Amino acid sequence: MKAVFVPIHPQGWPFIAAFALVAAMLWYVALPLGLFGCVLNLWCVYFFRNPDRITPVRPGLVVSPADGVVQMIVLAPAPAQLDMGDAQLARVSIFMSVFDVHVNRVPADGVIDKLFYHAGRFVNASLDKASEQNERQSVSLRLADGRRIAFVQIAGLIARRILCRLQVGQSVRAGERFGMIRFGSRVDVYLPAGVAPLVAVGQRMIAGETVIADLQSSEAQRHGDCR
């Protein structure tokens, strides 16, 4: 039944109720407006869907924190506020459109050791400068071997609300839900030094399921072709 009736994120019910009220009001004004309101209400339900995911649990795997498309893979230092140094790390940027599931998930097992929220701008999340200019929530995750992974929720042109339920000192598991971003946005993942991403630009990610890196592998960065 869950394949048909996907769970809804609790944060979505107030919006769904508001959209339903507007749709009902439009219905009394004119039938075409009412039908348009119903379509918007159905989209709102679709946007806040919160499906379960099957997370691979082998030690060393880093899974995608977001649904969406890998927009860019570059070398960049982790956010300065996380105190991870100036080393150039592989950064995988995953762009979420308004049609993707927006529930975010923890990329690996570990302990949350730093959180930093920055109230910035709302430029297009697909631009590289969004990593430094946009509103964002940065998270540092310490792994069992002492290495750290950073992941950053970035608000976009339409997104105006970042939700993050993590706390410093909290133990987390790969694939756990930890927050979401409304509406259309991006999540960056900074891998430990020397770890290459096993995904390619343009590849579609499934939060909590798609493996984006293997900390136990020495494989070089992968590349992909559209076929």
Catalytic residues: 185
How many other β-carbons are positioned within 10 Å of the β-carbon of residue 11? 16
State the Cα torsion 62-67-69-75 to the nearest 10°: -40
Residue from 225, 227, 222 nearest 73 by CA? 222
For the chain, how far is it from start to end, CA to CA, in angstroms? 34
Sheet holding 148-155, edge to edge: 171-172, 110-118, 136-142, 148-155, 185-190, 89-96, 68-76, 204-205
Tokens 């679709």, residue located: 46
Dihedral sign of CA atoms 70, 96, 118, 163 in order: negative
